[in-house]
């Protein structure tokens, strides 16, 4: 065609994740929490499982605030090989105890294909971390699992790439995918990353999958978590992933971005009002 430089296809490169092919919202039920439905779901817990005492203390606070799902890392991807890389199997065991003792569902990260069966033995939701968003061998592996998957956006990935990675999981047969924006890398330095709050309305338009936000990794500063959580819920997020540590100053990883139990409790109360203001509950 003369005078035309480029022709752009109408069809999006993702199908199973697209709202075009699946107009109704996907709802994923975990331990009674209906993720993607009217209530906003808050998942709290520490960055890493550090000790029996620490996780139980944290889990009691999550439960006391009405939480049904607990987060905590047993296997930790760390930029440096010399940093604390998580308790591993023992951490997984502690999470299993939380589950049986307190009745909380568990979300925890899985880092490689061969870990999937073991982690899926404890976890109710498998988390794929930001650095692994395009680890296709891992996406294929969690796609063959029966567990719901929380897919975190790469800190350097576009929204379309996030949806393409969800498509990898779904094309393996697992349609229970929760998307999570956790801050993208920009030139700004007052926050660890920049929370891309626009991702909420963009994703809600493009896909039927539930959309979570992680204000802890986005900001990297505990004191901004409350404001960013409120913004996320106001924008229409289906849920939040909040790092909370019983004693943030003693955390073995991500202490600076973990809120204290008091701030966590206050945040939940604040979010309840915002959720209601946008026609949802908590």
Q: List binders of a copy of itself among 34-93 (CB under 8 A).
A: 77-82
What tokens appear for 170 in the block? 């779904």
Closest of 181, 218, 178 to residue 199, by C-alpha? 181
Q: Which is nearer to a copy of itself, 31 or 172 (CB)?
A: 172
Give the interface size with a copy of itself as a residue count (CB under 8 A): 77
Give the distance from CA 3 to its chain's centroid: 46
Q: Which of 3, 23, 32, 146 binds a copy of itself (CB under 8 A)?
A: 3
Q: How far apart are CA 98 and CA 64, in angstroms?
A: 14
CB-CB contact of 54 with 246 (8 Å):
yes
Q: Which of 37, 57, 93, 161 binds a copy of itself (CB under 8 A)?
A: 161
Instruction: Tell me if 127 contacts a copy of itself by CB under 8 A.
Output: no
Closest CB 243 distance from a copy of itself, rounded Å: 16
Q: How far apart are CA 236 and CA 232, in angstroms?
A: 7
Q: Which of 64, 173, 223, 266 binds a copy of itself (CB under 8 A)?
A: 223
Q: How far apart are CA 28 and CA 31, in angstroms?
A: 10
Q: Token pair 């039927």 is at which residue?
A: 208
Stretch 255-274 residues interacting with a copy of itself (CB under 8 A):
270, 273-274
Closest CB 111 distance from a copy of itself, rounded Å: 5
Q: Which is nearer to a copy of itself, 250 or 278 (CB)?
A: 278
Q: Which is nearer to a copy of itself, 104 or 138 (CB)?
A: 138
Q: Which of 96, 227, 256, 263 binds a copy of itself (CB under 8 A)?
A: 227
Q: Which is nearer to a copy of itself, 97 or 171 (CB)?
A: 171
Which span sits near a copy of itself by CB under 8 A: 28-36, 51-59, 161-169, 257-265? Answer: 161-169
Orientation of helix 261-277 relative to helix 52-64, angle to 10°: 30
Q: Which of 27, 118, 120, 202 binds a copy of itself (CB under 8 A)?
A: 202
> Which DSSP helix (H) or strand (E) runs through 62?
helix 52-64
Q: Which is nearer to a copy of itself, 52 or 185 (CB)?
A: 185
- DSSP result, 215-249: HHHHH--GGGHHHHHHHHHHHT-SEEEEEB-SSGG
Q: Which is nearer to a copy of itself, 104 or 252 (CB)?
A: 252
SS3 state of residue 253: coil
């Amino acid at each position: 065609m003369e005078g035309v430089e480029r022709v752009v296809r109408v069809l999006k490169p993702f199908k199973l994740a697209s709202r075009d092919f699946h107009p109704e919202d996907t709802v994923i039920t975990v331990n009674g929490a209906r993720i993607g439905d009217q209530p906003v779901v808050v998942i709290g817990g520490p960055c890493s499982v550090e000790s029996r005492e620490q996780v139980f203390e944290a889990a009691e606070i999550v439960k006391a605030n009405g939480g049904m799902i607990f987060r905590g890392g047993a296997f930790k991807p760390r930029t440096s090989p010399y940093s604390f890389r998580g308790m591993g199997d023992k951490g997984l065991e502690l999470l299993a105890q939380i589950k049986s003792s307190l009745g909380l569902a568990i979300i925890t990260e899985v880092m490689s294909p061969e870990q999937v069966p073991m982690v899926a033995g404890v976890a109710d939701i498998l988390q794929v971390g930001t650095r692994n968003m395009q680890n296709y061998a891992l996406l294929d592996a969690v796609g063959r699992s029966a567990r719901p998957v929380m897919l975190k956006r790469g800190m350097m990935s576009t929204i379309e790439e996030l949806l393409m990675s969800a498509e990898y999981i779904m094309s393996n047969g697992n349609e229970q995918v929760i998307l999570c924006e956790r801050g993208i890398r920009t030139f700004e330095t007052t926050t660890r990353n920049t929370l891309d709050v626009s991702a909420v309305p963009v994703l809600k338009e493009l896909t039927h999958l539930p959309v979570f936000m992680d204000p802890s990794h986005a900001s990297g500063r505990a004191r901004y978590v409350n404001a960013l959580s409120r913004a996320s819920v106001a924008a229409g997020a289906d849920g939040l992933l909040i790092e909370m540590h019983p004693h943030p100053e003693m955390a073995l990883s991500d202490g600076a971005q973990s809120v204290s139990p008091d701030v966590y409790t206050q945040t939940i109360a604040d979010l309840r009002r915002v959720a209601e203001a946008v026609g949802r509950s908590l």
